[in-house]
Amino acid sequence: KNQVEQSPQSLIILEGKNCTLQCNYTVSPFSNLRWYKQDTGRGPVSLTIMTFSENTKSNGRYTATLDADTKQSSLHITASQLSDSASYICVVSQGGGNEKLTFGTGTRLTIIP
């Protein structure tokens, strides 16, 4: 069964600190992996997308990594800001013409001043 597991479930860090969120998946065949940010009461917004051949991709203070061999991805947030408080959702797309998306349950990140 295709699954996307994220850890930790929730995380609280001080403003200005760095943090790393994890995503493990069992989706096969793999097409791409995306990280979304979802603010409270809002819809998810895309942060990054990586295909099989990409190991790392950055979007400002967000850096995503992908290890397709171990089926793991991480999202690193540098110099956190209060506005980074949100849920971060890992989404894996199935390839082979299926294009089915499997969503993780998200990591709830809280930045405290």
Partner 1 sequence: IAGITQAPTSQILAAGRRMTLRCTQDMRHNAMYWYRQDLGLGLRLIHYSNTAGTTGKGEVPDGYSVSRANTDDFPLTLASAVPSQTSVYFCASSEDIRSDTQYFGPGTRLTVL
Sites of contact with partner 1 (CB under 8 A): 4, 32, 34, 41-46, 49, 89, 99, 101-106
C-alpha 112/C-alpha 97 separation (Å) is 43
- Say which residue the tokens 């980074």 belong to: 84
In the bound state with partner 1, the residue whose beta carbon lies nearer, of 80 and 107, is 107
Residue 109 CB, shortest distance to partner 1, in Å, is 16
Report in angstroms the alpha-carbon separations of 104 from 79, 89, 93: 25, 6, 11
In the bound state with partner 1, the residue whose beta carbon lies nearer, of 27 and 80, is 27
In the bound state with partner 1, the residue whose beta carbon lies nearer, of 80 and 106, is 106
Q: 69: which DSSP letter?
A: T
Residue 104 CB, shortest distance to partner 1, in Å, is 5
Residue 17 CB, shortest distance to partner 1, in Å, is 27
Q: Facing residues of 19 across strands?
A: 77
C-alpha 79/C-alpha 81 separation (Å) is 7
